[in-house]
Structure 1
């Protein structure tokens, strides 16, 4: 199909529906009606002679839809970046980072001064989110950081930091009530976060002992609050070693019990299409890899 014949409005509607997995959300984003989006998708499917979506709840992309979205979404991101770079030339030194809240507060911000000293003219703009990468408008960011499984290779994600989980608490808690075996951990209030809700279940399964009733847990929306609760002596939390290594080294936290390894997902970064900022993005990601390697080495010395 030649460029003059490209159905750009229909492709824009398709990309938005594919990203949100919702006709209604796509309509809100595009500022049109649900019916208008539906007609654009139907027209595109007729033009291609293919089904792009299964109209289920929630809707699903067909194999052909997945293939098309993988090409269309980056193309729109490139267009958006190209236009933004011309409209906002003064932003060429701004670096737009999106990362999970706990990672940002416990790991990234404490180390960011190192990168800023190397690039003192770079403006770092940090936003936090746990939204899946597939649901983000990637043209809004230069680098997105998430805990991603190895199966995310289609995103060209680069792992840079271990997500190994450890059971941590304030030192006075295990001084009062030592944890000498896996069963002893049930004598303490356990802490968990919504973002890691299955971790304790895996821990008890691998330890071969019964998980306490749900009422015995202290729950928080974010991992940061779970770690803070552990620091305050409220219980024992499972947290990524890389995010609490500094507190362990300082003696603010201790390993409550060197129990089973819980399958954890490592931290990875995804570079988006940064246009004029490409060199700065590459240097930031190289710095992430260097800091991640150093942190993993350091973390192994504190357990």
Structure 2
């Protein structure tokens, strides 16, 4: 394992978010009151989006809908709350609220967010934070950056049937998200094991929530039109030592030594190319870094 990062054992938290109500002092519709709903996203916890029901024709909508998240206690968790007005043709984004979960303490509390400063529109949200009873997780970290547990997920469909020659499967948050699956073929996804995800088939609105566990096998049924496809999912934990990424704040010493030697070669080339009167000192040789 690299000296620039080490294993850390960290606990998980359980976060419950209840979207209570909103108070709007103007309507987003011309001829009626607003038809609002809220979408929650917490990218460090889930690749899924969570949506409330739409409250029709109301500038004082009440939802009282609760959503649950499992979060890593040592990373920056920012909850995104998107307030929409539902229309027949378009979904109008009214406001986006970003809330850092680190501002919460253990227990239950209600917060009021201003979603429009001009009209003083407000959103009431209740939070409940608790320690998780599950075992702590093991992460690689250099004290600031964190690498999550890495898993591979193999999916097999033994029999698709004559009507279905292949399926385009999408696993949210994975790399890469989409694979074409045919009978007997195994497709492999790479994903953060701690990430809540979902499996869906292109062209079908039905999604199958997936909870990944280390080195497990499970079977799921995915609706495809009028049919149901049986899929076998097998997850495999990847050892932390296989991390092919160096977590650090500077280039390694070996690369620094190489750059110093390279400056001498580049200095000679520039001296010849530019027909300089004297050789370039190494501290005068330009150094260009490319970040990708």
Decide: shared fold, TM above 0.5. Answer: no
* Bigger proportion of residues as helix: 1
TM bucket, shorter chain: under 0.3
**Structure index of larger Rg:** 2
User: Scaled by the length of structure 1, what TM-score is found?
Assistant: 0.22
Alignment TM-score, normalising by the size of structure 2: 0.23
Bigger RCO of structures 1 and 2 (CA < 8 A, at least 6 apart): 1
